[in-house]
């Protein structure tokens, strides 16, 4: 079986190849030797790879954090922030951030500095000065269309949050894909979409992203449980996403299976992360709407009306003519039928 480091290396190699079941087996073997790193890797695998085992993953992450693993403590901060049913979740998340920061976790230290607005205090003082209530409020949206429902939100996200998301996404970009009707699988289609994106699963998120998602759920009035994992979109000059729908056509077999399993994509929430570009509007050709927010502004549109996909929500991500465009994209699912 080998030593724990060897088993972990085998597990990481299997992850890179996409064999998540094999990786899970290797991490489990290494965890049995007492390796806290393996325990955290196993927890992460259980949280984000099929078949999911959320309760087991959370328990293992907490155990790894208790045993001093700073990455596990940061993961626990994210997990707490994501749990809208957890009493006092934001304080619990901050306590885990503090634990991770004290043990040298760079990302946790940066999060505490951002959330506290301080950079010269010690970590405990930073944690104590964070005012979560100030980060959680949202402002009323402005109607661009009543039917279908399209709303704009000015100053939805603080500029520092926008910068945070862009910095976290920069090193994760890959060619953006579209969902194939027959299989539901993602594929690159240059004749439809030429931009890049960076997705974040549960283990790759952080407290700042969870705060952003919480604000989105409040602004949309939809259940936090329906939020897919977030994605950052990047457009170089000339890159675009041609007119398309965000709802899934249930007449297509692969997309119908996705809706049956996860629910319909009933709404889309976009946050404009920068404004130093030209062009690049979000266009709704059937509504005669072209919208481009400034940095921190947001756009919400409902893809369904009276529970049914609305063809009037056809929209496009127009190409910037100068500069690079960054967006935060959040799809929101409705209840499963």
What would the pLDDT profile of 262-320 be if each residue is shown by its tens digit? 999 999 999 999 999 999 999 999 999 999 999 999 999 999 999 999 999 999 999 99
Over residues 212-241, mean pLDDT: 97
Average pLDDT over residues 15-37: 98
- Which structure tokens are listed for 177? 């894909």
301: Cβ contacts below 8 Å, ≥ 6 apart: 145, 148, 149, 150, 151, 267, 268, 284, 313, 315
Residue 141: pLDDT over 70? yes
Q: If you ran DSSP here, which 8-state letter would residue 183 be given?
A: T
Global pTM reads 0.96
What b-and-e string marks burial along 54-72, b requiring 16 or more CB atoms within 10 Å of the CB?
eeebbebbbbbbeeebbbb
The hierarchical CATH code for the domain 4-131 is 1.25.40.10
What the block records as the tokens of 299 is: 């756009």
CATH of domain 142-333: 2.60.120.620
Range(s) for CATH 1.25.40.10 in the chain? 4-131
Structure confidence at residue 264 (pLDDT):
98
User: Does 104 have pLDDT greater than 80?
Assistant: yes
Cα–Cα distance for residue pair 100/68, rounded to 1 Å = 9
- For the cut 80, the answer to whether the pLDDT of residue 337 exceeds it is no
Provide the phi-psi class of 117: left if phi over 0, else alpha when psi is between -120 and 50, else beta. left
DSSP for 221-264? TS-GGGBPPPEEEEE-TT--EEEE-SS--TTSHHHHHHHHHH--
Confidence of residue 87 (pLDDT cuts 50, 70, 90): very high
In tens, the pLDDT along 43-69 reads 999 999 999 999 999 999 999 999 999
Which pLDDT does position 121 carry in this prediction? Answer: 85
The pLDDT value given to residue 139: 84
Residue intervals of the chain classified under CATH 2.60.120.620 are: 142-333
Closest to 10 measured CA to CA, from 48, 46, 38 = 38
Q: What is the pLDDT of residue 169?
A: 98
pLDDT > 80? residue 19 = yes
Q: What is the rounded average pLDDT of the residues 193-199?
A: 98
| Percent share of the chain, pLDDT over 90 | 93
Tell me the C-alpha distance between 277 and 69, whole Å: 41
Categorize the per-residue pLDDT at 1 as very low, low, confident or very high, splitting at 50, 70 and 90. low
- Read off the pLDDT band of 119 (50, 70, 90): confident
Residue 75 has pLDDT above 70, yes or no: yes
Give the DSSP H/E element, type plus range, for residue 20. Answer: helix 20-32
Q: Which of 290, 9, 329 is nearest to 169 (CA)?
A: 329
Instruction: Point out the least confidently predicted range of 53-62, 93-102, 176-185.
Output: 176-185
| Average pLDDT of the chain, as a whole number | 96
Does residue 336 or residue 113 have the better pLDDT? Answer: 113
């Amino acid at each position: 079986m080998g030593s724990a480091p060897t088993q972990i290396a085998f597990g990481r190699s299997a992850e890179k190849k996409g064999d998540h079941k094999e990786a899970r087996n290797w991490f489990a073997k290494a965890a049995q030797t007492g390796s806290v790193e393996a325990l955290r890797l196993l927890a992460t695998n259980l949280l984000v790879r099929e078949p999911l085992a959320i309760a087991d993953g959370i328990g293992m992450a907490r155990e790894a954090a208790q045993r001093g693993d700073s990455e596990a403590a940061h993961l626990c901060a994210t997990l707490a922030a994501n749990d809208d049913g957890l009493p006092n979740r934001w304080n619990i998340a901050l306590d885990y951030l503090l634990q991770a920061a004290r043990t040298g976790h760079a990302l946790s230290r940066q999060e505490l500095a951002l959330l506290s607005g301080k950079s010269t205090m010690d970590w405990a003082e930073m944690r104590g000065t964070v005012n979560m209530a100030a980060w959680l409020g949202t402002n009323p949206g402005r109607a661009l269309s009543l039917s279908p429902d399209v709303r704009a939100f000015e100053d939805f996200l603080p500029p520092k949050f926008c910068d945070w998301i862009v910095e976290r996404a920069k090193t994760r970009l890959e060619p953006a894909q579209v969902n194939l009707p027959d299989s539901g699988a993602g594929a690159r289609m240059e004749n439809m979409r030429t931009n890049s994106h960076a997705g974040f699963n549960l283990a790759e998120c952080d407290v700042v992203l969870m705060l952003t998602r919480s604000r989105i759920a409040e602004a949309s009035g939809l259940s936090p449980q329906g939020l897919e994992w977030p994605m950052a979109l990047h457009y170089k000059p000339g890159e675009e996403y041609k007119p398309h729908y965000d709802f899934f056509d249930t007449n297509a077999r692969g997309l119908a299976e996705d809706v049956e399993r996860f629910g319909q994509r009933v709404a889309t929430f976009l946050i404009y992360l920068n404004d130093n570009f030209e062009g690049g509007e979000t266009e709704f050709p059937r509504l005669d709407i072209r919208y481009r927010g400034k940095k921190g502004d947001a756009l919400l549109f409902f893809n369904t009306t009276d529970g049914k996909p609305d063809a009037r929500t056809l929209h496009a991500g127009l190409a910037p003519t100068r500069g690079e465009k960054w967006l935060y994209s959040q799809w929101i699912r409705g209840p499963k039928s």
